[in-house]
Amino acid sequence: MVVMICGHFQLSPLSILSSSSSSSSSSSSSSRLQLSSSRCSMMDTHKQGRSKFLEFPYVSAPHKNLMLDLVSKVEDRFQSQLLPCTLPPDVQYYKSSNGTSQVSLHITPANTHSPIDFVMGSWVHAELPTGGSLDITSLSAYLNSSNDAPNFVFELIRSSPTMLILVLDLPPRKDLVLWPDYLKTFYEDTKLDTHRQALEKIPEVQPYVTSSLFIRTVASPTAIFVRIQTEDDGGERIDGIIRDHIDRISKQVLGIWLDDCACAERDVGEEDKAYLRKRDGVIRNKTIEVDLGSSFPRLFGPEAAKQILEAIKEYFTV
Amino acid sequence: MVVMICGHFQLSPLSILSSSSSSSSSSSSSSRLQLSSSRCSMMDTHKQGRSKFLEFPYVSAPHKNLMLDLVSKVEDRFQSQLLPCTLPPDVQYYKSSNGTSQVSLHITPANTHSPIDFVMGSWVHAELPTGGSLDITSLSAYLNSSNDAPNFVFELIRSSPTMLILVLDLPPRKDLVLWPDYLKTFYEDTKLDTHRQALEKIPEVQPYVTSSLFIRTVASPTAIFVRIQTEDDGGERIDGIIRDHIDRISKQVLGIWLDDCACAERDVGEEDKAYLRKRDGVIRNKTIEVDLGSSFPRLFGPEAAKQILEAIKEYFTV
C-alpha cells in the first residue's frame, strides 16, 4: 500500500495560474537580465507543472475542492516566500509508457527568509488490474532548521469508490520523550487530538495501521491514520464524509500548523539546529526509501521511478 | 482511566514461597551476621508482600494463571539476580480506610551483575460506585543502562466482566527515528507486530487509544493497546479470550523480551549510558506523574497515595 507520498508543494495563490511574475522579486536585480531567458523557461515549466498539478483530474469534486483549498491556504500564508518549482518537466508530470499510471509532482522551495524548507504536492493515478483505479493526492510542508516546530503531512488514498485512507499529521521534529515541553506546546495545548476524536466518531471510520514501523515511528501521538470503508453506493457516502468532515478537520489541522507551528516564534540554538538537521535528514531519507522507493517502481517502472526519486532527493537533502 | 500501572516485580521462582534463602547469596559474607536480624525481618516482609501479591485474589482463573506464569517466566530467567522487595509493608499491601480499594505492590531490584534495574508487579482492586469493580494487574521490567534494549510492560485492566483493556509493549529506550538499527533489531527482526496483528483479528478486539499523549509517545510502534468488549455473558467470553489468545501472545512477547532484549549482548558506550539514564529518567518520572499520580489519589486518598508513590519513586530514580 502506498502511504504518505509526502505531498507538499506550491508557489503563490491559485491566482498565479493567470500570472507569471509573482515570485520574480526573489531574484537578484544584478543577474536579472542575464537570467531572463532561462528564468522565463523555468517559469513556463513551473506554470505548466503547477497547472497540471492543480487539475487533480481523477478525483471527485469534494476531494479536488479540498486539495485546492489546502494548497491555497498554504500559498496565501507564504505567498511571497515560495519559489518556482524547478523539477524537470518530465518529473513534474510523468505518464508510464503503457499509459496506466500518472504522477504529478510539484515541489516549491522557499526563500531564505522563510521558516519553510519546501512544500510538496502530488497526485498519482493508477489503473488497477482489477479494473478500478488508485488515486492518491497529497500536500506536505517541511520546515527548515530555523524553526523546530512540526511539519505538515496530508494524504488521501482512494483505492476504490468505497475505500479511502486519510493520513493527516503534524509529525514532530524532536524526540517527544526528551522534550516534554514540545509535546505540550504543539500537541496538548493545540488540542490536536480533538480532531482525531471527532473523525473516529463517524461509524465508517476505523483506525488504519500502516505496515511500515518506520512511518508509525515518525507519526505524532495525535496522528490521524484512518481507513473509511462504506457500502457499495458508487462512492456517494465517502464523498459526503470528505465534504462534511474531512474537509473541515483537515483545514483546522492545517490552520493549527500555519498559526502555531510554521509561524511560531521559536528560539532555536546552534546545537538544536544541528540536532534538527540530523533528525530531519534521517526522516527524509527513510521516507523516500520506505514510501516512495517501494511504490514508485511498481507504478512507473524502475527507470522512471529512479529519475523521479533522484529529483525529489535534491529537496529532501537537509 | 488507570492505564499502565507499570506492573513490575519479583524475586525468585514461585517456589520461593516455601523458601526464604534463595537470594542470600547476594549479601556480602562479612556483614551477614550483623545483618541477620534485620535481614530476617526484611525477608519476612518480602515473603508476606510477595505472597499477597501472588494471590491475585479478585481476578478470574485464566487471568490469575496468566499473571502467575508471566511472573514465573521472569523469575526463572533472573532468579539469582533478583533481590528482595524492600518496600514498607503498608506499601506492599494497602487497603483504603473505607475498605473499597486495595493495592498490592511488589518491586524487586536486581544485583549489579544483572541487566535488570528492577521488576515491578501489582494488582489493584477497587469497588466501583456502580456496584461493579475495577481490577488491574500488571507486570513490568526496567533494564539498567548496561543494556539499551527495550523494557517490558504488561497490564490487564478489567472494569467489568465484559470489558478488558490489554497493554502489552516493549517500550523503546532510544529515539527510534535517530536509531533505525534499534527499530530493526528489536521490532522488525523479532516480528513483534505479528502478535498485535493476531490479536486484532479477534472480532471483539478494538484498538484502544489512551487519553495520555505521553503514554502514546513512549509506546513502541508495535505496542498492543486494545479494548475487548463482549456481550453480557457474565465474563465467559473475555475469560475465553484471555485463555485462548492473550495468554499465548503475552508469553510470546515476554519470550522475545527475555531472549532478544534483556539477555541480548549489547555494547553500550559511556555516551549511550548517559543518554539512556536521561531518557529513562524522563520516562519514569512522567510515568509516575501521568499514570499512578493521577489514579492513586482517587483510589486511596491523597495521603496514602503520596506514601505509596514516594516509595515507588526511589526505584524509579535512575
* pLDDT at position A111: 96
Q: Which of B192, B212, B217 to mutate to test the interface with A (most CBs of A within 10 A)?
A: B217
* pLDDT at position B1: 33
* Average pLDDT for B56-80: 97
Written as one string, the DSSP assignment of chain B is: -----------S-GGGGG-S-TTGGGS-GGGHHHHHHHHHHHHHHHHHHHHHHTT-TTS-HHHHHHHHHHHHHHHHHHGGGB----S-HHHHEEE-TTSSEEEEEEEEEB-TTSSEEEEEEEEEEEE-TTS-EEEEEEEEEEE-TT--S--EEEEEEEEETTEEEEEEE---SS-TTT-HHHHIIIIITTTTHHHHHHHHTSTTEEE---S-HHHHHHS-TT-EEEEEE--SSTTHHHHHHIIIIIHHHHHHHHHHIIIIIIT------HHHHHHHHHHHHHHHHHHIIIIIHHHHHHHH-HHHHHHHHHHHHHHH--
Q: Average pLDDT of chain B?
A: 88
B283 contacts A217? CB cut-off 8 A? no
Q: Give residue-wise pLDDT tens across range B243-286.
A: 999 999 999 999 999 999 999 999 999 999 999 999 999 999 99
Strand-pair partners of B141: B119, B152
Report for A25-29, A285-289, B6-10, B113-117: range of highest mean pLDDT? B113-117
B282 contacts A217? CB cut-off 8 A? no
pLDDT band at B9 (very low <50, low <70, confident <90, very high): very low
Q: Is the pLDDT of residue B97 over 80?
A: yes
Distance (Å, whole) CA B67 – CA B161: 18
* Average pLDDT for B155-181: 97
* Average pLDDT for A138-147: 97
Å between B210 CA and nearest CA of chain A: 10
Q: Average pLDDT of chain A?
A: 88
pTM of the predicted structure, to 2 decimals: 0.87
* pLDDT at position B117: 96
Topology adopted by domain B58-316: oxygen-dependent coproporphyrinogen oxidase (3.40.1500)
- Contact call for residues B96 and B303 (beta carbons, < 8 A): no
Query: Which carries the bigger pLDDT value, residue A266 or residue B292?
Result: A266
Helix H, strand E, coil C: the string for A30-60 is: HHHHHHHHHHHHHHHHHHHHHHHHCCCCCCC
Q: Is the pLDDT of residue B13 over 60?
A: no
Q: Give residue-wise pLDDT tens across range A150-207.
A: 999 999 999 999 999 999 999 999 999 999 999 999 999 999 999 999 999 999 999 9
Q: Is the pLDDT of residue A6 over 80?
A: no
Q: Percentage of residues in chain B with pLDDT exceeding 70?
A: 87
* Average pLDDT for B53-64: 98
Q: Is the pLDDT of residue A9 over 70?
A: no
Q: Percentage of residues in chain A with pLDDT exceeding 70?
A: 87
With 0-12 / 13-18 / 19 or more C-beta atoms within 10 angstroms meaning exposed / middle / buried, residue B25 is exposed
With 0-12 / 13-18 / 19 or more C-beta atoms within 10 angstroms meaning exposed / middle / buried, residue B153 is buried
* pLDDT at position A39: 66
Distances (CA, A) of B310 to A112, B94, B140, B278, B288: 51, 14, 19, 20, 10
Q: Is the pLDDT of residue A5 over 70?
A: no
* Average pLDDT for A4-24: 32
* pLDDT at position A93: 96
Distance (Å, whole) CA B142 – CA B129: 35
A98-112, A266-280, B10-24, B107-121: range with lowest mean pLDDT: B10-24
A4-13, B140-149, B171-180, B239-248: range with lowest mean pLDDT: A4-13
Q: Is the pLDDT of residue B7 over 80?
A: no
Q: What ipTM does the predicted assembly reach? A: 0.86
* pLDDT at position B292: 81
* pLDDT at position B12: 30
Query: Which carries the bigger pLDDT value, residue B23 or residue A53?
Result: A53
Q: Is the pLDDT of residue A11 over 80?
A: no
Distance (Å, whole) CA A21 – CA A35: 14
Which residues of A lie closer than 8 Å to B, measured between beta carbons?
175-178, 180, 183, 187-188, 193, 207, 209, 213-214, 216-218, 221-222, 278-279, 282-283, 286
Q: Is the pLDDT of residue A295 over 90?
A: no
- Angle of helix A302-316 versus helix A270-287 axis, rounded to 10: 170
Q: Is the pLDDT of residue B24 over 50?
A: no
Distance (Å, whole) CA B148 – CA B264: 9
Q: Give residue-wise pLDDT tens across range B134-147.
A: 999 999 999 999 99
Å between A178 CA and nearest CA of chain B: 6
User: In the structure grid, which three cell numbers stand for residue A54, read together?
Assistant: 492543480
Number of other residues whose CB lies within 10 A of the CB of residue A118: 23
Q: Give residue-wise pLDDT tens across range A210-235.
A: 999 999 999 999 999 999 999 999 99
- Contact call for residues A158 and A150 (beta carbons, < 8 A): no
Say which DSSP state A11 is in: -
The residue of chain B nearest to residue A276, with distances taken between CA atoms, is: B178
Q: Is the pLDDT of residue A130 over 60?
A: yes
Q: Is the pLDDT of residue A32 over 50?
A: no
Report for A27-31, A311-315, B142-146: range of highest mean pLDDT? B142-146
* pLDDT at position A289: 86
Q: Give residue-wise pLDDT tens across range B190-212.
A: 999 999 999 999 999 999 999 99
Which residues of B lie closer than 8 Å to A, measured between beta carbons?
175-178, 180, 183, 187-188, 193, 207, 209, 213-214, 216-218, 221-222, 278-279, 282-283, 286
Number of other residues whose CB lies within 10 A of the CB of residue A29: 7
Beta strands in chain A (DSSP E): 93-95, 101-109, 116-127, 133-143, 152-160, 163-169, 205-207, 224-229
Q: Is the pLDDT of residue A14 over 70?
A: no
B175 contacts A178? CB cut-off 8 A? yes
Pairing of strands A224-229, A101-109: unpaired
Å between A204 CA and nearest CA of chain B: 14
The residue of chain B nearest to residue A281, with distances taken between CA atoms, is: B178
Distances (CA, A) of A97 to A100, A129, A131, A300: 8, 16, 18, 8
Distance (Å, whole) CA A302 – CA A293: 10
pLDDT band at B289 (very low <50, low <70, confident <90, very high): confident
Kind plus residue range of the DSSP H or E element containing A197:
helix A193-200
A213 contacts B188? CB cut-off 8 A? yes
Q: Is the pLDDT of residue A24 over 80?
A: no
Pairing of strands B93-95, B152-160: unpaired
Distances (CA, A) of A288 to A200, A215, A272, A292, B103: 29, 11, 24, 5, 49
Kind plus residue range of the DSSP H or E element containing A286:
helix A270-287
Q: What are phi and psi of B32, to 5 degrees?
A: -65, -45
Report the sign of the C-alpha dihedral through residues A238, A242, A244, A249, in that order. positive
Query: Which carries the bigger pLDDT value, residue A293 or residue B54?
Result: B54
B176 contacts A217? CB cut-off 8 A? yes
* pLDDT at position A36: 59
A39-43, B44-48, B294-298: range with lowest mean pLDDT: A39-43
Written as one string, the DSSP assignment of B101-143 is: EEEEEEEEEB-TTSSEEEEEEEEEEEE-TTS-EEEEEEEEEEE
Using DSSP, state whether A227 is helix, strand or coil: strand
Residue B175 with chain A: CB contacts under 8 Å: 175, 177-178, 279
Per-domain residue ranges of chain A: 1-8+25-53, 58-316
pLDDT band at A88 (very low <50, low <70, confident <90, very high): very high
- CB contacts < 8 A, A to B, total 56
